[in-house]
Amino acid sequence: MKSLIAFLLIATICLAQENIPYKDKTLPVEKRVEDLLNRMTLDEKIDMLGGTGFATKKIDRLGIPELRMTDGPVGVRWGKSTAFPVSIASAATWDPKFAGNVGGAVGRETKGHARHVILGPCVNIARLPMGGRNFESYGEDPFLASRMAVAFIKGVQQENVAATVKHFAVNNQEYERSFTDVIVSSRALNEIYLPTFKAAVNEADVLCVMCSYNKVNLHFASENDYLLTDKLKKEWGFKNLVMSDWGAVHSSIPVAKGGLDLEMPTGAFLNKGTLQDAINNGTISLETINDKVKRILTVIFKLGLFDKPVLEENSTLINSPENRKVAYETSLASTVLLKNDQEILPLDLNKIKTIAVIGPNAANARTGGGGSALVAPIDPVSPLDGLKNKIPSNIKIKFAKGGNFGEEIQKIESKYLFTDVTQKKNGLNAEYFDNMNLSGTPKYKQIDKEINFDWGDNSPDNGIGKDKYSVRWTGYIKAPKSGNIVLSIATDDGSRIWFDDKQILEDWNHHAPVKKSVVVKMEEGKLHKIKIEYFEDGGGAAAILGWKLEDDNFLEDAVELAKKSDCVLLFVGTSSSVETEGIDRDDLVLPEGQDDLISKVAEVNKNVVVVLTTGSPVLMNNWIGKVKGVVEMWFAGSEGGNAIADILLGNYNPSGKLPITFPKKWEDCSAYPTYKKIAAREYYSDDIYVGYRHFDKYNIEPLFPFGYGLSYTTFEYSNLKVSKVEGGFEVTCEIKNTGNIKGAEAAQLYIASKGTSVDRPIKELKGFSKVTLNPGESAEVNLKLKNDDFAYFSEESNSWKVDEGNYEILIGASSRDIKLKTTVIVR
């Protein structure tokens, strides 16, 4: 009898559990969320509003699992992974299928690392050519960026992984990103800076949105009602999760009352201590808290985390042949041929016996830019390795480094550092402060034998917290040789150096790991006084003091090799320490003497091809007239070396086109008049005239225009037709491959308004299509224009408007190479 009663009790409990609505996977997500929300206590709801580093909080009582996150967007930054070509490279394909393929591969690898959310894509417009995170985004045009972002997000989420569109909004510079106030018109916001986010929400149903660090029109993005509430949630109807960037929350009550749902990495401002009383006294409504929790739960349910076992690591999904193929094919399609005088490319191996491969980026696989997007790649292929893989053994490949750019810092050993002039103790005097400005009494003092620290997310000592501290090191340094010595410091967040009582370096900014260098004159055996100061704000922490001592003849060796070779492939560019989260470049010049390297090599060899590994534009005025070929390969991911080899050798015909204007000088760019002009504030005086819109309006000739890219073959455009259809127009034209090699061409559709009531750009991209053609083959390109494509944002009515009148339809091979045009009437 007792056993029967026990059996019936267990059966009753099981039946009751089965009938719990939120556990019933046959019910709609909305009903399951509502049921679960009603079972949560207020304490549990508040707990859900703050993260645990890279996850949301679990509620064990109700079986609510965590959402595990990882950095992206060009590969999974959780252990080692495949590095994919950076986002600006995906945009350079002018074919959304490649962005979609990358998204799918990133989604698979996210699952392979047992994570649920990838923190990408980054979709901010490249307003500033030196922007530290330009490589992470899709260029300067909102239409092109939207098509790429939508494809990437769909690719990720088809793998049942949540994508996170970021950084919302107008995070277009890294300089003072944590607090700068962007003053921007509502028209520029809606026409230039918000469309990609809107497309991510309305077309791709993105599951997560991440707000930016900066202020927008006086209010931090994390508590900006116009962005998070009026636009995102009300106008666009976003139903999913809004999270902060890491450390981007600055208040409790305004944030809790606003549109942000989840504070990351922890609930420093959104917690029981800061919110309980405000909820109890009605300052914050329970309905507002419920809405935030509901959105977090919605994503958890949509990913099916209540209905399947906890995701486990699966190494077969990481760096798989399928994913390596995606990286390789995207790199091929993204490579842009910028110059090809006398058809130096593809290389004719029948006429070549010796190839000089020169440059600091030749033997290094520069897979990506720095910061949270930098992937630890598995077996990355350098350009030198790729060429060796592809070129027959009867042709000699000889390598010269040409420079020491981008190498890991060589730490200064303790035997060269002294606490005082007696030289009895090696090392430097260290003072550690529990604040970021070295104020007050040090928390503790010690002698650090070397400055060679990577604290990561940990504290340097139990008496100092994990974040918001500073250190001062003082003492003496003695070099083993006389001469000009490159002194370097690599830090995560700010540093500054004094040498012989003179300040020689100032980098007192928040940023990801960055190396800064300065040349100092030292005498062998002489003690030189040195002081280093460092602060750490949040996230990772590192400080490494180094120098360059070795004698080298890199430049001379490169020139000598160039003299003896039939042709030169010169690999130059930037690196993850130059283009990185947290800082913008100081200028657009190739760093550390690479311009000089190109010029010197070009003086002794007439057959030079320069290959650029960058994430955004560089200046070329000093050398572009001296070389025959220029190729932009971007930060090309794990397979970049194999891809660029196939491009240079003609195994693949380059078809990439620029998603960003390459200027002749920084002063020609739209951000120049305002950037860094006022502390903590950036006026977007360029308004809607960003990128090619700016160059068109002021008739400025760029070095290479938006949409530009050459091919090893030629194309002919003809037979433009425009037909009125319901809701817009259908545009067709014919493209013919008139050369001797198979190739692909991206036809670009721009519109130009004529005589409308407001100032409009000279032209605006509204469509594109890429076709692949054999020699002599033709194809019809079919493009659609919706009536909304002719709209502008009216600040007077705070809405989109279409003016009736005449509009030109322009079909081009670039924004400055219009092949066909006609006029339509919009009514």
Tell me the C-alpha to C-alpha distance, in Å, between residue 661 and each of 184, 250, 626, 694, 709.
22, 36, 22, 10, 11
Integer Cα distance of 239 and 206 in angstroms: 10
Return the closest-CA partner of residue 525 out of 487, 486, 476. 476
Question: What type of residue sits at position 403?
Answer: G
- The DSSP code for 524 is T
Q: Is 245 a catalytic residue?
A: yes
Which residue in 622, 518, 512 sits closest to 572, CA to CA?
A: 622
Look at strands 728-737 and 778-786 and give their pairing. antiparallel
Give the bridge partners for 746, in sequence order: 770
Spatial distance between the Cα atoms of 125 and 130, rounded to a whole number of angstroms? 12
Rounded Cα gap, residues 250 and 252, in angstroms: 7
The answer to whether 297 and 265 have CB atoms below 8 angstroms apart is: no
Which residues, in sequence order, are bridge partners of residue 731? Answer: 722, 783
Cα separation of 591 and 813, whole Å? Answer: 31
The pairing of strands 181-183 and 817-826 is unpaired
Separation between Cα atoms, residue 389 and residue 649, nearest integer Å: 12
Contact present, 94 and 106 (Cβ < 8 Å): no
Q: What CA–CA distance (Å, rounded) separates 336 from 330?
A: 12
Catalytic residue among 95, 245, 537, 584: 245
In whole angstroms, how large is the CA radius of gyration of the chain?
28
Find out whether 769 and 781 touch, Cβ atoms under 8 Å: yes
Which H helix or E strand runs over 98?
helix 96-112
Provide the H-helix boundaries in 552-657: 554-563, 594-604, 640-648
Residues noted as catalytic? 245
